[in-house]
C-alpha cells in the first residue's frame, strides 16, 4: 500500500534555532495527519494533528503546515531545546469509517546541539 | 488519569513459541490498535479492535491474532514465533471517532532467540 515518507533521516540544529521537519505523503485520500515524537525506549507521543480541510495549525512552540497540492506536511519547532531531541514521525489516516489505521513514515531524528 | 499501559515491558522467547501481550487503553477510550515497530523504522499497523471485534487488519499473517475484552483492554497473540517477529509492539487507543489522535503506550520489546 501507499505510505508516508520523509525527506531527511537526520536533522541537526543548534539550541534556540527553529527546526523544520518535512514529510511527503502519497495518498490523496488521506484526510487526517498527525505528528508524533518518540524518545528512546518510549512509545510515540502525540504532538499535533491537522485535518485535510486546514492548511495550518499551531500549538505550543509547534506549527504544522499541510500542502495538499503537493502532498507535503511539515512540522516547525520554534526555539528548539535539548529536550526536543527525538525521532519524529508523521502519520496519515485514510478517510472513511472503516479506515482508521495510521500509516507511518520511517522517521526523522532531530539532534539538538547545545 | 492513566494513559495507555502495556505489559510486559520486555520479553524473550525462542522460535516456535507463542506469546501474549497485554494493553489497557487510556481512560475513556474504546478502540485499541496494535502496531509492530522494527528497529529504526516507523510503526506498522497490525489490527484494530472495538466492540470486542477485529475491525481492520494490516498486512500481517494469521499467526497474529487478538482479542478485546468488555472493559476495552486488549491482547495480542503471536503463534509460531519467527526471528523476524523481534520488534517493539505498540498499543494505541482512541475514541471511535474518525479524527481523534491515537495515544500510544511505551510498548513491549519482544526478542526472539
pLDDT band at B1 (very low <50, low <70, confident <90, very high): low
Q: Which residues of B touch A91 (CB under 8 A)?
A: 42
Q: What is the CATH number of the domain that holds B83?
A: 2.60.40.10
CB atoms closer than 10 angstroms to residue B70: 7
Q: Which domain holds residue B38?
A: 5-112
Q: Tell me whether residues A43 and B4 touch, CB distance under 8 A.
A: yes
N-to-C CA span, chain B: 37
Contacts of A107 in chain B (CB under 8 A): 41-42
pLDDT digits (tens, 9 = 90+) for B32-66: 999 999 988 999 999 999 999 999 899 999 999 99
Cell (9 digits) for B41 = 523504522
Contact A46 B48 (CB under 8 A): no
Is the pLDDT confidence value at B96 over 80?
no
Q: Write the residue in A1, A32, A98 that is nearest to B99 by C-beta.
A: A32
Domain total for chain B?
A: 1
For residue A2, the model assigns a pLDDT of 38
Whether pLDDT at B81 is above 80: yes
**Torsion over CA: B35, B36, B38, B44 (sign):** negative
CA B8, CA B71: separation in Å to the nearest integer?
A: 19
Flag if B48 and A104 touch (Cβ within 8 Å). no
Per the listing, cell 489497557 goes with B24
Q: What is the pLDDT of residues A28-52, one digit of tens each?
A: 888 899 999 999 989 999 999 999 9
At A96-111, the pLDDT tens digits run: 655 578 999 879 999 9
Give the pLDDT band (50/70/90) at residue A7: very low
Amino acid at each position: 500500500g501507499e505510505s508516508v515518507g520523509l525527506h531527511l533521516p537526520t536533522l541537526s540544529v543548534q539550541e534556540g534555532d527553529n527546526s523544520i521537519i518535512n514529510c511527503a505523503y502519497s495518498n490523496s485520500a488521506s484526510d487526517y495527519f498527525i505528528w508524533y515524537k518518540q524518545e528512546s525506549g518510549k512509545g510515540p507521543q502525540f504532538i499535533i494533528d491537522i485535518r485535510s480541510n486546514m492548511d495550518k495549525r499551531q500549538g505550543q512552540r509547534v506549527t504544522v503546515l499541510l500542502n495538499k497540492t503537493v502532498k507535503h506536511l511539515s512540522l516547525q519547532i520554534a526555539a528548539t531545546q535539548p529536550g526536543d531531541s527525538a525521532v519524529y514521525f508523521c502519520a496519515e489516516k485514510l478517510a472513511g469509517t472503516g479506515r482508521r489505521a495510521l500509516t507511518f513514515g520511517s522517521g526523522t531524528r532531530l539532534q539538538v546541539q547545545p | 488519569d492513566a494513559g495507555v499501559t502495556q505489559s510486559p515491558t520486555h520479553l524473550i522467547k525462542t522460535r516456535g513459541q507463542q506469546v501474549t501481550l497485554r494493553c489497557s487503553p487510556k481512560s475513556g477510550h474504546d478502540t485499541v490498535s496494535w502496531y509492530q515497530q522494527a528497529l529504526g523504522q516507523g510503526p506498522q499497523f497490525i489490527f484494530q479492535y472495538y466492540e470486542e471485534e477485529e475491525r481492520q487488519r494490516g498486512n500481517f499473517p494469521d499467526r497474529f491474532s487478538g482479542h478485546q475484552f468488555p472493559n476495552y483492554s486488549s491482547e495480542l497473540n503471536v503463534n509460531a514465533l519467527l526471528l523476524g517477529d523481534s520488534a517493539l509492539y505498540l498499543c494505541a487507543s482512541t475514541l471511535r471517532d474518525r479524527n481523534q489522535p491515537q495515544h500510544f503506550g511505551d510498548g513491549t520489546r519482544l526478542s526472539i532467540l
